[in-house]
Amino acid sequence: MRPTARILVVEDDVAIRQTLAEVLADEGFEVACAANGAEALAHLTRSATPSLILLDLTMPVMDGWTFRSAQREDPRLAQIPTVVVSANHAADRSAVDHLGADAFLSKPFDLDSLMDTIHRLC
C-alpha cells in the first residue's frame, strides 16, 4: 500500500485555500496550509516534508517568488515538486522556467487538470 502523499497549499486567498484543502483531503491526501511564503517556510522547518507544494505567486508578507528562491537554496527543500498556481497569466511559461517549478496552472484552474498534475508529480 502506498503511503499517503502530503501536500502543502501556499495560498493567501482563504476561500481558495480552504477549497483546495477540502478537495485534496477528499481525494485522500494529507493537507497542510500556509497563507504566505513565510508561513510555508516555518511549516517546512517543523513538519514532515511534503510530497508536493501548491504555490501561489502573489501573496502578502512573502510572495511565491521569494518563497521559491528560499526553497531552492535549502537542499532539504529544493527537491520537493512545486506546482505554481497563479492568476498572473503573463507569468505562465516564464514563471515555470524562472522558478524551476514542475508545473504551472493558471487561475481559475480546472480541478481535473490539478488532480492530474498532482498525481503525476506525487
Indicate whether 76 belongs to any domain.
yes
pLDDT band at 98, cuts 50/70/90?
Answer: confident
Residues 4-26 as b or e (16 or more Cβ within 10 Å = b): ebbbbbbbbeeebbeebbeebee
Residue 28 included in any domain: yes
In the chain, pLDDT over 90 holds for what percent of residues?
A: 65
pTM above 0.85, yes or no: yes
In a domain, 21, yes or no: yes
DSSP states along the chain: -PPPPEEEEE-S-HHHHHHHHHHHHHTT-EEEEESSHHHHHHHHHHSPPPSEEEE-S--SSS-HHHHHHHHHHSTTTTTS-EEEEES-GGGHHHHHHHHT-SEEEESS--HHHHHHHHHHH-
Residue 52 has pLDDT above 70, yes or no: yes
- 116 falls within a domain: yes
What is the reported pLDDT for 91? 56
Identify whether 46 is part of a domain. yes
What's the pLDDT at 1? 36
Indicate whether 58 belongs to any domain: yes
Q: Is residue 1 part of a domain?
A: no
Stronger pLDDT, 8 or 85, i.e. the higher one: 8
Our count of domains for the chain comes to 1
Q: What is the pLDDT of residues 31-49, one digit of tens each?
A: 999 999 999 999 999 998 9
Backbone angles phi, psi at 99, to 5 degrees: -85, -10
Residue 79 lies in a domain: yes
CATH number at residue 18: 3.40.50.2300
Domain span at residue 44? 6-121
